Structure 1
């Protein structure tokens, strides 16, 4: 009898728990309207999560870096390097946004202060629907400060002062926010720590916004890099035409600093998320520079312990042709191709197994990683990266950022998957560009085709 009563009580409890579980499950499922499928970004390849051995693949070239196995989360990567055409869209957007802001002071229609239902906006924003009539005399007068002064013009041509094309954006310093000393104190309802701002000033934490920094970046590339990088060399035509002439639209962008590359990524995120909101879709992960390890993982294309992105130990194919745009012989920049002595249009050579072009040669590429010779020894084995936001007064050694892939002016050694190099974050070179990545939300089978 006791056993029967016990069984009855257990069954009732089980029924009660089951009912509660079902109610909770039903309540929790009310927020899930439909499964999320991640849209495939245009021009990007999906790099699935995985594990890889990073570092030198040849015992002869061990340098100061030891090989190390790590794991990397899934992400998207641009199939090609950012081109002149793509970056010019960024420059034009900055130009137009500055112009619209200036015009709104005299022509209110260039600034929206109300929504579609005539409700006041908390933060006014630019009206991009009305075109800018650059030939309108009234507009020209309002935009006078955007142009070069009369005594600063070349050949008496009235043109926009590229030095005034400055992009402003904000970013969150999660590294400082995550420090234990900077935790929020619920008893005092305040922060007790300090943060170091981008100018190197140590300030008390007032609120969460103390971890948000304002970045101001001139966006126009340094076109003089073609002359500056090579002494006793005639490269004036590249300085004059390379960035803006349509003949170079599909060539890789060069002459941008690490900060400018980050600014482009921020702008690209803004443009994409604005489009997502207009179509009632959710925001996605930010576009950004790849970490050094993400870059190497993608370059290897799923093939471990090979020297080059094409999965081989050789720099020629079976027909004896070179497989990338680089400097194959001393003083001979055309041995790899007679089409160009410098950069070539992106995608001129075959991609690797992940459909990524020019992961070796053409232009070297910025990564988000701070350079340190022995970084592999102390980096995590899960999504490894070394981050440091260098301040203006920091010594040059702290401003080094990792570049990968080698360029049109480099010998084959710099094209290797495991070769590490660096450049200073405020330097602009005629052989360094970049491509963007974006962390992926889901597995490949849940991607929206």
Structure 2
């Protein structure tokens, strides 16, 4: 995977730290004031040496660019929710493969070890996948209910039965563990063998609270005073957050058009993550073999005994078949995948043409009366986390780029988009209650019940349970963020900071 790159990153950071704490090193000068950086005689303004963001564990670099987002074939379902449109996606990182059962079990083990001994079993319980998602009223799937998540035979298979909420929580946990290990390897914090529910390492808390020391024999120091301090964002040591990819990022990465690009020309568009209109390889060694795990037809999930084609009645290992031109596995077939976006039918027409995304909810740390950040939660399901609240609509009332904290239903479900010629509901401030006005939740015959709401999240890609039509990256469907199925998994992404290429 990317272990060697990550080790090289840690070595590079170690060298940078040596330069940072060494006052005798050659210092740079400000191009605006002429003052010398990292000089206590000039006030001690610190500028850390920085080379490059290195790929985090499990990730692959995706160089961004322009592409046509949306359907790549006839809309046979007549959903009209993916009209083709030209957009640009910034460079980012994405998991090489779907999150596996083994990776998720590591997460569950950590939660159990940290929270259950302190009577916070609910934190562990809410992360458990729904293994009953395999059940079918007219099929025998009990072996998967009993064994799929925990049996070692399936350890490298994609985790399923995970809701959008659970997937997002996993991404947050992964961010903390990766950054914790970076600081441990650099000697800036000590390895905690028995973390507590109130004191486990949290990246935001480490950056937020000056007294959040996480015991260490070696800490950074302020050049001016010599006092010890935590690593800061300005030091470039910690990696950005792991998160779910946006719909645009996922679709861009799945198509992998970088393999068909010659001097800024896309020589051939793609229907699937590979060239051509069929789902079989043209490699002479494997001629005729399927390149994805999907349902070939009614009752045909893996082919004929003696020559199983995609070798998957249900899922297959996360590293299986051929990767696309970005080096990503199973971007079509195996399991569908959660993305960050809130679903709307007309999102492709409404959203920005640069990094399009619907689902922004702006939050800020909760402050005390003296202006300091409130201490971490010491109880409840959010124990150990930094308290956050929605940004104040009052403070943002004169902003031009946004005014509300919750923008999930902006221009599609808010009061402004539901008003009629004789109404003045657009003047109401609280848009969180407006979506149900546009998308009726009254059951028949009083109304037409809509499944579209602000908790409806998009999932992309075909699965073992889908026909070939759904393998096109442009297709999308949606499900409530608290629900899960046996055919939806996920993978993580991370922002690229700095130059968009290596």
**TM-score normalized by structure 2?**
0.59
Q: Could you say what secondary structure the match of 2:131 adopts? A: coil
Tell me the residue number matched to 1:403: 459
Aligned mate of 1:290, from 238, 245, 250: 245
**What SS is found at the alignment partner of 1:328?**
coil
Report the structure, 1 or 2, having the larger helix content.
1
Alignment of 1:149-298 (within 5 A): 164-166=121-123, 218-227=126-135, 230-278=136-184, 279=186, 280=188, 282-298=237-253
Deviation at 1:276, TM superposition (A): 2.7
1:330 aligns with one of 291, 295, 298: 298
The 1:364–1:25 alpha-carbon spacing in structure 2 relative to 1, beyond 3 Å, is: farther
Match of 1:98 among 108, 111, 115: 115
Once the two structures are TM-superposed, the CA of residue 275 in structure 1 deviates from its matched residue by 2.0
Relative to 1, partners in 2 of residues 1:59 and 1:24: Cα closer, same or farther, differing over 3 Å? same
* Higher alpha-carbon Rg: 1
Deviations 1:258-317 (A, max 9, x none): 100001001001111222333256222110000000000000112563110123322112
Query: How far apart, in 2, do the equivalents of 1:338 and 1:298 lie?
Result: 23
Q: Deviations over 1:188-223 (max 9, x none)?
A: xxxxxxxxxxxxxxxxxxxxxxxxxxxxx8001000
Q: Is the 1:300–1:311 contact (alpha carbons within 8 Å) kept by the matching residues of 2?
A: no
Deviation at 1:77, TM superposition (A): 0.3
Matches of 1:255 and 1:60, distance apart in 2: 28
Do the aligned partners of 2:63 and 2:501 also contact (CA within 8 Å) in 1? no
**Preserved CA contact (<8 Å) 1:370 1:387:** yes
Q: Tell me, yes or no, if the aligned pair for 2:30 and 2:37 is still in contact at 8 Å.
A: no
The answer to whether the aligner puts 1:424 opposite 2:480 as a matched pair is yes
How far is the alpha carbon of 1:444 from its aligned partner? 6.4
Where does structure 1 differ by over 4 angstroms across 4 or more consecutive aligned residues? 20-23, 59-63, 388-396
Q: Would the alpha carbon gap of residues 23 and 75 (structure 1) be closer, same or farther in structure 2, given more than 3 Å must change?
A: closer
The alpha-carbon deviation at position 404 of structure 1 amounts to 0.6
The verdict on how the C-alpha distance between 1:438 and 1:425 changes in structure 2, with shifts beyond 3 A counting, is same
- Quote the offset at 1:343 in angstroms: 0.4
SS in 1 for 2:354: coil
Could you tell me whether the CA contact under 8 Å between 1:310 and 1:351 is conserved in 2? Answer: no
Q: Tell me the alpha carbon deviations over residues 200-259 of structure 1, each in whole angstroms, 9 at most, x when there is no partner.
A: xxxxxxxxxxxxxxxxx80010000001xx221000000000001111000000001010
Q: 1:295 to 1:21 in 2, by over 3 A?
A: closer
For residues 21 and 88 of structure 1, the distance between their equivalents in structure 2, rounded to whole angstroms, comes to 49
Report the Cα distance in structure 2 between the residues aligned to 1:22 and 1:63, rounded to whole angstroms. 56
Separation (CA, whole Å) in 2 of partners of 1:425 and 1:220: 15
Separation of aligned partners in 2, 1:414 and 1:354? 20
**Native 8 Å contact 1:363 1:431 kept in 2:** yes
User: Which residue in 2 is equivalent to 1:341?
Assistant: 313
Higher strand fraction (1 or 2): 1
Residue correspondences, number: 316
Question: d(CA) in 1 for partners of 2:500 and 2:103?
Answer: 27
1:135-193 deviation digits (Å, cap 9, x = unpaired)? xxxxxxxxxxx8xxxxxxxxxxxxxxxxx3515xxxxxxxxxxxxxxxxxxxxxxxxxx
For the residue of structure 1 that corresponds to 2:61, the secondary structure is strand
User: TM-score if structure 1 supplies the norm length?
Assistant: 0.66
Output the CA distance in 2 between the equivalents of 1:26 and 1:308.
55
Structure 1 position 420, deviation (Å):
1.2
**How far does the alpha carbon of each residue in 1:394-427 deviate from its partner, in whole angstroms, 9 at most, with x for none?**
7642121111111001000111021111122111
Structure 1 unaligned segments of length 5 or more: list them. Answer: 1-19, 103-145, 147-163, 168-216
Q: Cα RMSD (Å) of the superposition?
A: 2.5
- Aligned-partner Cα distance in 2 for 1:267–1:57: 36
Alpha-carbon spacing, 1:272–1:224, altered in 2? closer, same or farther (3 Å): same
Q: Which residue matches 1:39? A: 54
Q: What secondary structure is seen at the aligned counterpart in 1 of 2:452? A: helix
Query: How far apart in 2 are the matches of 1:445 and 1:55?
Result: 25
Q: Is the 8 A contact 1:405 1:416 kept in 2?
A: yes
2:33 alignment partner, one of 24, 42, 55: 24
Answer whether contact 1:165 1:220 (CA < 8 A) is retained.
no
Seen in structure 2, the aligned counterparts of structure 1 residues 32 and 372 have a Cα distance that, compared at 3 Å, is: same
Counterpart of 1:67 in structure 2 is: 84
Aligned 8 A contact 1:363 1:408 in 2: yes
Q: Aligned equivalents of 2:98 and 2:122: distance in 1?
A: 23
The 3 A distance-change label for structure 1 pair 282 and 33 is closer
**Residues 320-367 of structure 1: per-residue CA shift (max 9 Å, x gap):** 221100001111111273633100111210000000000000000000
2:273 to 293, 300, 309: 309
CA contact (8 A) 1:371 1:401 kept: yes
